[in-house]
Amino acid sequence: MPFAVVQIPAILPRLLQLPSEEGNAQFILLEDIVSEHIDRLFSGVKIGTISCFRIMRNADLDIDDEDAADLLSEIETQVRQRRWGEVIRLEIQSGYDEEILPILTENFEISDRDLYEIPGPLDLTFLSKLPPFFKDRQNLFYPSFTPQPSSAFYGKDDYFSVIREKDVILNHPYEDFDTVIELIRRAAEDPNVLAIKQTLYRVGGQSPIITSLAEAAIRGKQVLVLVELRARFDEENNIQWAKKLEQAGCHVIYGLVGLKTHSKITLIVRNEEDGIRRYVHLATGNYNETTARIYADLGLLTCSEPFGRDATDFFNMISGYSMPLSWRKLIPAPRWLRIDTLNRIEQEMKNAREGKPAVIVAKINSLVDPEIIDALYRASQAGVRITLIVRGICCLRPGIKNFSENIHVRSIVGRYLEHSRIIYFYNDGQEDLFLSSADWMPRNLDRRIELQFPVEEKSARMRVFHVLYVQLMDTDRARIMRPDGTYHRVDRRRKETFDSQVRLCHDAIEAAASLNPEPRMMDRYIPSEVNATAVFKDDK
């Protein structure tokens, strides 16, 4: 039978408001208007059936770094070809005519297993356009929250003196990402700053950080920027920024052969009265002012000399000047992070066998690495108490008798995307605490440039422990994994409703209001030899 496709341009608004009585709001989707008036598009043709569908294509770029003479131009070419990528999924609205299916599957060369029937509108992202029309129905939406200024820097003219005083933890989006933007802007304009070096994975559409880096280069500072051109779906954006930075005089690196650079680090080299000092920003999230408002991430600001020397070695490594044999504080992937993690798990196992308290807590996005999972199983059998906060994919199965009964897994999905990675090892009372850009996945540990780094200064540690504590106390957004891999809500009997993200919003508001850099009553959350094994294991 004759078959035609009407492609709806993405540039047109999909949600349209209809005239309605005052106090009501009525809408219609663009595809419904097209369906209703399809006879005007095909005049004189008898319409048999109409169905709404959409396709998804494989967006991976097939690039051989070693054979690509010009990586930038090669990625530019492949990004343009992405719109013709292989179809991997077809969604069709319920109520479709069965005669349409063979035509679609044959034309798009897909099997029945790639076909998904959707009982309702396709692609629900249009719902994000609704809030302005329902101002009188605020019960349908999250309460408004404005990221708070970092109380450590609030009202301070000299950001560098704040970092010299002590390490600072930034907790986004509860605290405003403007602190990071402002630091880089001031560094670009500061005549005492000699160099700025930074890795960029995903950057905002109108990035003030790019503007500051370009300004620093124009002012004669040494600016080195690694722009990861292969950040999926941000390739085109990153190509534009790379060209702009090059035109301003920055030394731009497009990435390393065979490895994506996923680390988040900035190094600022400054000439001061007592000599050269290096300021370092390390983070779990990207330098993207847009996603920083919806991704929950942590950042560390320090001018510790060991961190500064490691940061220098790191940028020398990714720019091809040297390959360090060892590190003082930073733990990079792919060469070092896997080994270090396995060794620390092994140490907890050894301590447990000796009858000592042994605890591992990890907050990560995904856990799929077979070697790490196997090590955690063995640690559980040795008596190590393990608590995992895994927001997304978790291939480990907890709570299996005589196998993983000492492992508890929870997932927190809320208003903000849980994106920070926090790793804790009790280590016979030394309590090693780390932040990381890496998840426990083969791609992160073996095929990406990642950075894990310790949090050592007391007040900084308190803030990170506080995040872990409130997430383990969550009874509202948290789901607990069963041994069969399914999830269930927290048993709220004899427990109050507790939303960890709401609590962190309140903490940020209180801290900003009182100009106190620590959330109220935070000291009670610091794990000790006694409560580290108690607080971090009780997820049932």
Task: Report, as residue numbers or ranges, the catalytic residues.
Answer: 262
* Residue 362, strand partner residues: 388, 423
Instruction: Output helix, strand, coil percentages for the chain, rounded to the nearest 5.
Output: 35, 25, 40
Query: What gap in Å lies between CA 361 and CA 118, rounded to an integer?
Result: 39
| Long-range own/partner contacts, residues 354-357 (CB < 8 A, 24 or more apart) | 356/428, 357/426, 357/428, 357/429, 357/529, 357/532, 357/533
Query: What gap in Å lies between CA 259 and CA 431, rounded to an integer?
Result: 32
* Residue 390, strand partner residues: 364
Q: Peptide bond preceding 173: is omega within 30 degrees of 0, i.e. cis? A: yes
With tokens 């003196």, the residue in question is 161
Query: What gap in Å lies between CA 501 and CA 132, rounded to an integer?
Result: 23
> Which amino acid, residue 217?
A
Torsion angles phi and psi, residue 465, rounded to 5: -60, -35
Query: What gap in Å lies between CA 77 and CA 72, rounded to an integer?
Result: 9
Query: What gap in Å lies between CA 109 and CA 243, rounded to an integer?
Result: 38
∠ CA 169-365-236, rounded to 5°: 90
Torsion angles phi and psi, residue 218, rounded to 5: -60, -35
Structure tokens belonging to residue 461? 């540690």
Q: Which CA distances in Å does 41 have to 6, 10, 30, 34?
A: 9, 19, 14, 9
Query: What gap in Å lies between CA 488 and CA 202, rounded to an integer?
Result: 34
Look up residue 149 and give its DSSP letter: P
> Which amino acid, residue 155?
G
Exposure string of 7-41, with b = 16+ CB inside 10 Å and e = fewer, is eeeeeeebeeeeeeeeeeeeeebebeeeeeeeeee
Report which of 409, 390, 392, 391 is spatially closest to residue 400, judged by C-alpha positions: 409
∠ CA 295-471-497, rounded to 5°: 110
* Contact call for residues 203 and 209 (beta carbons, < 8 A): yes
Query: What gap in Å lies between CA 349 and CA 358, rounded to an integer?
Result: 7
Residue 44: count other Cβ atoms within 10 Å of its Cβ: 5
Report which of 525, 524, 522 is spatially closest to residue 151, judged by C-alpha positions: 522
